[in-house]
Amino acid sequence: MPEPPSSSSSSAAAAASALGPPPLTGIRVLEFAGLAPGPYAGMMLADAGASVLRVDRTSSSSSSSSSSSAAALPPNDLLTRHKASIAVDLKSASGIALIKALVSARPSSGGAVDVLIDPFRPGVLERLSLGPSDLLPLNPGLIYARLSGFRRDGRYARMAGHDINYLAVSGALSLLGRAHDPPHPPINMLADFAGGGATLFQGILLALVARQTTRKGKGQVVEANMVDGSAYLATFPRFGLKSGVLGRARGTNLLDGGCPYYDTYTTRDGKFFSVGALEPQFFKALVAGLGLEGRGLEEKRFDFDEWPAMRTLFAQTFKSRTREEWEAVFDGSDACALPVLEYGELETDAGREGDQRPSVTLRSTPCLAIKQRPQQGSDPVTNGRGSGVAGDGYEGQLLDPGQGGTARLEEWLGWKQGEQFEIHDGAYSLSRSRSKL
């Protein structure tokens, strides 16, 4: 006989059955393939339950060659969770007709596209007759979401750029880096993903709420750019330049690496420990854990002239033990002293909170799981619903052009290959009998 389910698995199953669907269930998103920030916004929507269909380009639509081949370009996008794909030749009339038909489909025929994500530089989709003025009349409820690096109306609008450039002109980069060193970019997290993709996601959610509450079903154009997004994220430190929190030169202030009790230190085994003991009670616990009581350090906390000597003392002390030994000292304390963990070790140690979860917990309508095959009895609220995806949040998966696209079109609109659409050399197009848009 099969063993009865454990009480923990039974309670988890009961909890799951009482939950509502993910928050964006029923929202349909057409995402034009682009560089990482746009796909990141699409992934955030998909993780929240939206149905996302990526539009990949073909060699014909992305090349000036006169060749008639429309083979789909190989993918390099890893931000593909829960998405499907179609490859479309955007230089062909039938390809453009397919996009317009998808956007203009009415709920009576299975549902319209709710959101379109445009990741290109200004003017690209407009030149293809797929700009807001072309598509919004076809679908007044459409949320047309556009993401650019620079402001569309700014002096850099027509220039190429990357994360470091957007941070540079936003002012945020001027705050980052050690004293006496040039400003240092934080990989590409701050402008591309936080200031760009996540900000676009926020704008899409605001537009969806507005469509439901104040605009009587009407959509709108949403524009995000990485300069304004980065500047907005820097609101508090920018205020700090005026209030005194960041009144000194870069890398010499309380929160930017200048303060010895808000920094990282090397341990004996070459690993690192973080310290953030700003408040007096936390600083006292730090000093006690380091075995440095009785040196009057508490009275010197805000004496800038004492910071170099204090930093040297802390560095020497942390170097005397391994990271694991310092963990044994500070684990469970209020010293705000914790190990700098690396993803390689987090991936194999869920006990260190290394198991990847949705970015936010919704108690009644949780998002989809990121970790594949959550443990039996795991909470579907905190861990996310469903069985998750390959990679466990540590390894992205490529989505081949056209993968899942046929099923997604049938799911959305009841369309079938050979009837409403055709596929030639990997490229999707509207069937000739429907190419009147």
383: tokens are: 């861990």
348: tokens are: 């194999």
Residue of 56, 163, 192, 228 marked catalytic: 192
Q: How far apart are CA 294 and CA 393, in angstroms?
A: 46
299: tokens are: 């009275």
Reduced to 3 states, what is the DSSP secondary structure of residue 45?
helix
Query: Is residue 87 a contact partner of residue 1, using CB atoms and an 8 Å limit?
Result: no
Query: Is residue 219 a contact partner of residue 27, using CB atoms and an 8 Å limit?
Result: no
Query: CA 106, 100, 212 angle in degrees (round to 5)?
Result: 45
235 C-beta neighbours (distance < 10 Å), count: 9
Give residue 141's identity as a one-letter amino acid code: G
192 in active site: yes
Reduced to 3 states, what is the DSSP secondary structure of residue 347?
coil
Q: List phi, psi (to 5°) of 238.
A: -65, -40
Would you say how long the chain is, in residues?
437
272-276 and 337-339 beta bridge pairing:
antiparallel
E strand segments, 316-426 = 337-339, 421-424
Which residues sit opposite 265 in a β-bridge? 273
DSSP category for residue 58: B
Q: How far apart are CA 378 and CA 404, in angstroms?
A: 29
Transcribe 259-324 into DSSP letters. STTEEEEE-TTS-EEEEE--SHHHHHHHHHHHT-TTS-TGGGTT-GGGHHHHHHHHHHHHTTS-HH
- Dihedral sign from CA coordinates of 8, 9, 15, 18: negative
Query: Is residue 86 a contact partner of residue 56, using CB atoms and an 8 Å limit?
Result: yes
322: tokens are: 């391994």
Catalytic residues: 192
